[in-house]
Structure 1
Amino acid sequence: MTKQRYAAGLAITVLLSGVLLSCDNDSKPRDKAGDRSGMTGADLVNLTGMPIVKEPITLHIFAGKSPTSHPDWNQVRIWQEYERMTQIHTQFQMVPFDQLSSRRNLVLADGDYPDAFMTSRLSSADLLRYGQQGVFIRLNDLIDEYAPNFKRLLEKYPEIRKGLTMADGNIYSFPSFYDPDFMSMLIGYPLWVKADWLDKLGMEPPETTEEFYQYLKAVKETDLNGNGKADEIPYGSVGTSALLNHLKGAWGLGNRGMGHSRVDMDPETNELRFIPADPRYKELLQYVHKLYAEGLLEKDIFTVKSSALYANGTRGVYGSLLVPSPFTLMNQTGYVGLPVLEGPHGDRLYSHVKTPLIHVGAFVITDRNPYPEATVRWIDYFFGDEGSKMFFMGIEGESYVETPDGEVVYTDSILNNKSGRTFEQELSKYVVWLGGSYPGFVTKKYFKGSESLPESIEAAERVRPYVVKEIWPPFTYTQEETERMSILSADIHPYVDEMVARFINGSVSFNEWDSYVSTLKQMGLDEYMRIYRSGYERYMQGSK
């Protein structure tokens, strides 16, 4: 039945692709001949320096867009300046992140895909599938010849090559890779609490899950902003997944980091463990259900959009938040990152830590691209020092300046905008990394986003002693394993997400937990875990 549903879904996807794409002017078929230079291949490319190509060319790029990024990258200053430097014009087709998966899959199914995909959140499974089909081109030799910056990173950090090399031995993508020493970047965003509200309540920053509950309860019951209204919101985020991922370390779960949010290693058996079926995960859900039932979470937490959350945040009504930065997104100061919370069994683990190889499929080149060599040079620039500065800081003299001691800092118009625009709103005129999923090498030297703020660095140092010791990068699978995992995941993952939400909101009783686990077994959880173990063993063999 699962196979039938999968086949039917695929058929519908192919059928709908023509309809949806015909409604989108940016997705209409284009005359590729009009984009061609008189020269092709290696003859077109300068091996070093600028411009990259000897004659102007155009690249068409499908790009995922976050809510905080500029709505039209074709107008962003970095691409205007980079075109002047390289002689390569870029035409971006923008797709919001909340539509990204379906739109990307439709474009690929239809066959009228662009020269490249950027910030499109392609998984290892996607890379292998479309790589073996020939849709995404093999990059091994092109990297050796045309990507000196990225090649140096592969040599310095062998884990990049290991994570990008698919089961067939090929590399199909450029990733987003975080400097392993950049801890405030790896921990994502902290669990923020309002420091002056703690002071008013006479409380210390919570150190246990029970103390966190007591703080949220006190926020709900106290007129902390002094306006005579009960408008304080104890906790805010978009959905509950961020909160669950932050709290599960307090129950000893997630001990291999966020790269594998559903699977970790059971310390008692040394066997892989499916976290959402573990008895301790049930306890975690019961805790979050209590917060929800007592009105301590955002009222519309399952449906609230980022824009509404940020708008609420500008009013200073949240007692705690899970966002990258209350300052950059909401112009709110005075929030501090919590220490790692201790759970009911004495566990105190910071599991919300990312693998440095954060997005394996941040940039891919397709077989429709007439200029693969030039495209590799185009993207490789951003993995070097000068390109990294440009990608994250923008244009010198406009969005950043360099101090006498060599530090680069954003201009005052970015940091203290007089029109009331937030830091990210103003910066989005110049750069496109806002919201994540971009290709590049992220270092503290040039990345000046929310993770580089003093309060973010302090929060990272506060949790550093409790960060999980072994962080798994993405595993790779064979084509057969990938296909089976895709089918199994299509049933298991949505079912888990649905039931987690229903357990939290109370529409399903925790008396149904055993039935929930039994249904997962019927959906093929045992096979799912066998395939997972195959990927884990392949990873371990590569580590030797």
Structure 2
Amino acid sequence: MAKMKQMLSGLALISVLGTAVLAGCSNGADPDNGGSNEAGGKSTSEPGSGFNKEGLPITDKPVTLNALTIRWGNMGDTFTKNTWLQELEKNSNVKINWQVISNSDWETQKSVMLASGKMPDIIIGNMAFGDSDIVNNLNLFRPLDDYIEQYMPNLKAAMAEMPDMKKLSTFPDGKIYSLPARLPSRPYSSVQPVINKAWLDKLGLKAPETLDDLYNVLKAFKEQDPNDNGKADEIPYSDSKDVDMNLFAPFGITDIRGNHLIVKDGKLEYFPTSEAYKAGIEWANKLFSEGLIDKETFTQDNTMLTAKRQNPDAALVGFSYQWTPDAVFGQWSDQYETIVPITGPDGNKYQIGDPNGLSFRRNEVLITTSNKYPEISARWADQFYTGEASIQNFWGAIGTSIEKNADGTYTLMDPPDGTSADAWYWDSSLRDFGPKYVSPEFEKNIKLDPSSGDGLKLQLDGLSKDYVTEPYPEVMYTVEEYEELPTLTTDIESYIKSTRAKWITKGGVDQEWDAYVEKLNDMGLQKLIKIYTDAYERYDNIQ
């Protein structure tokens, strides 16, 4: 009952805050807040008005800023009780009026906000506005290059140490409108191959290393009743319709950005027309035709897949791709282990991920043209770009979620009874969202438990990080490209996905391949590839 009341209270809070967000953006609020002025209007926080270019407080006169952030589901605003955030407010003289909206309610409110032009002072977190939202509404967001140069020494130093942070944040017109983040202790690998070790042991088999090994293991899983329940209910391999490409990884086909692009030797490769892709389909069709792939892989959603993974009577799934086994298999989690990537037909191993680490983000801070105090806002945001500030805004405050040790290292405290570590971190901090920078050197001081959560993922990453492929980077597109992309990708993506499913389940890739490539070209594939190439070259040339 207490938990239900807490949930209802959180939902009510989000509803109230979500309704209030537009009101909080309008004129007539507290005279000290960062209310609206004309787009691009001159800042009032110039020298002589109590603004301090260095040190704390940031301003001698208290200032209130409206900050909008989007949170998952019913998370609410418990993160605002983070001691570090509260101390920053006290020491900086900058009070933040947090406006928290659930992501499920945001799309409609976003459209209204962009259409009205009535904006909060600061936007925190990349779930609020995406690249196209910003590019198509540049009049609502301040270019931040000069503010970074003059008022953000922490971020400036971070960009010098990690140039990708600047590249990631530079828009097609050469300016920076949003600020980046580098999250702490992130792996290089995304989902990794996971297998039922208990089944292997029962059948006297070793973890597969090659495609032939994997085929033989999956066949044994299907035919030899490894869950020992006397039923032929084992599912050798299963996945959902949203990630049906994972099985192609041994062929060097990885798609972490979801746009069918990888970088090989500095050049882009659009793999749905490659020979490796064709070979991957032939391999998958062989597995499917022998009943080694779940027949519902191309139609089921995650809810259906979870029901199979957590079947109450016996473990049903033999092999899949996961972040960590403990996150998905419920009571059967102890039966599963992560293994080294399967060697492909060319003798190499390939792993889905990013060799720069899955830590970089953009659009984590936006300062709007409605903001009367951009210098103050920039200096406030810059306080987040230190290692100690960042870990406290990722896991929770020192003394609450993190223990700072005498030797200069940091360890995570155990969550309260009945609470998972991940849920606790989200309650205690901005977590994935907002400005952060943790340098590789600072990361050495973070000591994580290798048996669970973020520490376990880093531990498992050691199996695969050396094989991570280079994905298409997080580029940005021009207004014209954003206009063209949906027209091209909608039909092309649909055709690729439906054709792949048909070829895997029914065969025919050899006979239909040339016609398939020709049709893609007729649908504008070369135009699409040119857009991708132009954006990649712009990104690559950013200094």
Q: TM-score range by the shorter chain?
A: 0.7 to 0.9
In the TM superposition, residue 390 of structure 1 has moved relative to its aligned partner by 0.7
Amino acid at match of 1:388: S
Query: Are the aligned partners of 2:268 and 2:472 in contact in 1 as well (CA < 8 Å)?
Result: no
2:301 to 294, 300, 304: 304
Instruction: Quote the Cα distance in structure 2 between the aligned partners of 1:189 and 1:418.
Output: 29
SS of 2:473's equivalent? coil
Paired position in structure 2 for 1:129:
136
Change (3 A) 1:483 1:426: same
Paired position in structure 2 for 1:4:
none
1:41 to 40, 45, 61: 45
Instruction: Quote the Cα distance in structure 1 between the aligned partners of 2:464 and 2:261.
Output: 22
Give the TM-score taking structure 1 as reference length.
0.76
Paired position in structure 1 for 2:70:
63
In the TM superposition, residue 37 of structure 1 has moved relative to its aligned partner by 1.0
Amino acid at match of 1:120: M
In the TM superposition, residue 152 of structure 1 has moved relative to its aligned partner by 0.7
* Identity within the alignment, %: 24
Instruction: Quote the Cα distance in structure 1 between the aligned partners of 2:513 and 2:30.
Output: 57
In the TM superposition, residue 61 of structure 1 has moved relative to its aligned partner by 0.9
Amino acid at match of 1:76: F
Paired position in structure 1 for 2:421:
423
Query: Are the aligned partners of 1:339 and 1:462 in contact in 2 as well (CA < 8 Å)?
Result: yes
In the TM superposition, residue 274 of structure 1 has moved relative to its aligned partner by 1.9
Equivalent positions of 1:427-438 (< 5 A) are: 427-433=425-431, 436=432
In the TM superposition, residue 153 of structure 1 has moved relative to its aligned partner by 0.7
Amino acid at match of 1:148: P
Alignment of 1:276 onto 2:279 = no
Change (3 A) 1:259 1:55: same
2:163 to 155, 158, 165: 158
Paired position in structure 2 for 1:529:
529
Paired position in structure 2 for 1:396:
398
Alignment of 1:457 onto 2:458 = yes
Q: Could you say which structure has the larger radius of gyration?
A: 2
2:181 to 176, 183, 193: 176
In the TM superposition, residue 388 of structure 1 has moved relative to its aligned partner by 1.1
2:114 to 97, 108, 115: 108
Query: 401-410 or 448-457: which moved more?
Result: 448-457
Query: Are the aligned partners of 1:260 and 1:474 in contact in 2 as well (CA < 8 Å)?
Result: no
Query: Are the aligned partners of 1:41 and 1:373 in contact in 2 as well (CA < 8 Å)?
Result: yes
In the TM superposition, residue 151 of structure 1 has moved relative to its aligned partner by 0.9
Alignment of 1:196 onto 2:189 = no
Q: Spell out, residue by residue over 1:344-398, the C-alpha distance to the aligned partner (whole angstroms, 9 max, x if none).
A: 3434333532545743323323323344333333333332122112112202333
Change (3 A) 1:148 1:61: same
Paired position in structure 2 for 1:144:
149
Paired position in structure 1 for 2:41:
none
Query: Are the aligned partners of 2:143 and 2:175 in contact in 1 as well (CA < 8 Å)?
Result: yes
Query: Are the aligned partners of 1:46 and 1:52 in contact in 2 as well (CA < 8 Å)?
Result: yes
Instruction: Quote the Cα distance in structure 2 between the aligned partners of 1:477 and 1:135.
Output: 18
Equivalent positions of 1:493-508 (< 5 A) are: 493-501=493-501, 503-504=503-504
Query: Are the aligned partners of 1:485 and 1:528 in contact in 2 as well (CA < 8 Å)?
Result: yes
Change (3 A) 1:422 1:452: closer
Change (3 A) 1:233 1:90: farther
Equivalent positions of 1:365-404 (< 5 A) are: 365-404=367-406
Instruction: Quote the Cα distance in structure 2 between the aligned partners of 1:222 and 1:141.
Output: 67
Paired position in structure 1 for 2:250:
250
Change (3 A) 1:503 1:62: farther
> 5+ residue gaps in structure 2?
1-14, 35-43
Change (3 A) 1:323 1:466: closer
Paired position in structure 2 for 1:85:
88
Change (3 A) 1:453 1:387: closer
For these two proteins, the number of residue pairs brought into alignment is: 500
- Aligned-pair Cα RMSD in Å: 4.1
Change (3 A) 1:323 1:226: same
Paired position in structure 2 for 1:18:
none
Paired position in structure 2 for 1:323:
322
Give the TM-score taking structure 2 as reference length.
0.76
Amino acid at match of 2:146: D
Paired position in structure 2 for 1:119:
126
Change (3 A) 1:80 1:385: closer
